[in-house]
Structure 1
Amino acid sequence: MEWKVKTYKQLTLNELYSLLQLRSEVFVVEQDCVYQDIDGKDQLAYHVLGFEKNKLIAYARIFNKGDYFKEASIGRIIVKAEYRKKDVGHRLLDYSINYINFTLKEKNIRISAQQYLIAFYQKHGFKVDGQGYLEDGIPHVNMILKN
């Protein structure tokens, strides 16, 4: 598995197309959720790209503190369906957390998590922070990781 982190301006057109295609495949088609994925925040984000044999199979967006939440944050965390039982999601999250801790030099990370994934994030040290809410018709909850 190969990992890359790029700013919006560093992405190639093929990488941008692949990440938008994967986000649409998972969040719009698979989860049957019509929402505005192109939200104007990609330009602020670091894009974590996970490739297997030159095919994008995992992706996340990272934000500096203050760009999304007051803490650094990770969002749009996705893994292609056929790779989900292979710990790729855990590796993606570990990679993203380490990037924030060691490259951005931030220790606290906030996420907006789909509620059915609470246990997944808890395995990485995240704790529920507040009440649940609906985002695009899907139950979510804020979670925080304090290091």
Structure 2
Amino acid sequence: MSPRPFLLGLSLLLAACSSQPEEGASQASANPSTPSVAVQPLQAGQHELRGNLLGAPTNSEVELALLLVDERGRPRGELGNTTLLGNGQTLPFSLRFVPQPFAPGLRAELRGRASQSGQLILRLPPRTLSGLDSQTLGTLQLVPAP
């Protein structure tokens, strides 16, 4: 028997076992009727951005990401993300992340977008964060996407 099929099978098995579940998947998207966003306590070293989004239509997919961006506003890295299901009402969110040191000239921004049937319909104007501590951002408004 040739070792080629064995090695192929072994590499596929290792690749499947090495993937990790997505961090930042919100409990709110799993159960949109739950008023509380985070059910589980933060893990060691983890921080959280909390707030509410206005304007997400029912059955829209809302993606939020905490990004490191340069002076020109170009993304240079991601600290965390979450996806929510719009319900036509105020949408609470919780985005968990692990703060990391970053190069001078970069800043942390919360960005977001909402799509429906695969089409971009709304966006969250970029919001620069003053620090990478846990914060409550209040109510944020989604605006029409250009």
TM over 0.5: no
What's the TM-score once normalised by structure 2's chain length?
Answer: 0.33
Rg larger in 1 or in 2? 2
Higher strand share: 2
Structure with higher RCO (Cα < 8 A, 6+ apart): 2
What's the TM-score once normalised by structure 1's chain length?
Answer: 0.33
